[in-house]
Amino acid sequence: MPAPVVPLAYLLHERKTTDTHADFFKHTVAVCPPLAGMPNLLIVTDQKRAITKAIHDVCLALRHCLCWNHILQDCKRWVHQHGASSQLELGYYMDSIRSLLSSTSEDAYKDELLIQMIKWSQVFSEY
């Protein structure tokens, strides 16, 4: 059984700027200095540039993962913007992404990706 995931910190903010996020990460590392070198620490966020840049600038050694909900929202938005012809088509792509995200290992992910990409449109495969 995998170790439990324990959230360490949350940021509630008024502005979504790189400086706001960088200040948060600087403060978090200042309060708990060992965080800067912990290989098992994950930061889970959306892929907004302000957040990803702040993580890159302040916490170079930490692993950054994208939140499933945001990945799915981004995918849904992209499929709509690129002319999904029906709810069935949208559902298909969303189920494909969920299936990939549910993979239990990197090898399982790669195997599933090969299966899914055969069925995807060329533009979605590139996305």
Q: Could you tell me the residue ranges of all domains in the chain? A: 18-66, 68-126
Closest CA to 55 of 9, 3, 6, 2: 9
Q: What percent of the chain has pLDDT over 90?
A: 37
Helices (H), the chain: 18-31, 49-58, 68-81, 87-101, 106-119, 122-126
Confidence of residue 38 (pLDDT cuts 50, 70, 90): confident
Tens of pLDDT, residues 61-120: 778 888 899 999 999 999 989 887 788 888 999 999 999 999 999 999 999 999 999 999
4 versus 107: the higher-pLDDT residue is 107
The reported pLDDT for the residue numbered 60 is: 67
The reported pLDDT for the residue numbered 120 is: 92
77 versus 5: the higher-pLDDT residue is 77
- Looking at residue 86, its amino acid is S
pTM of the full structure: 0.67
DSSP type of residue 3? P
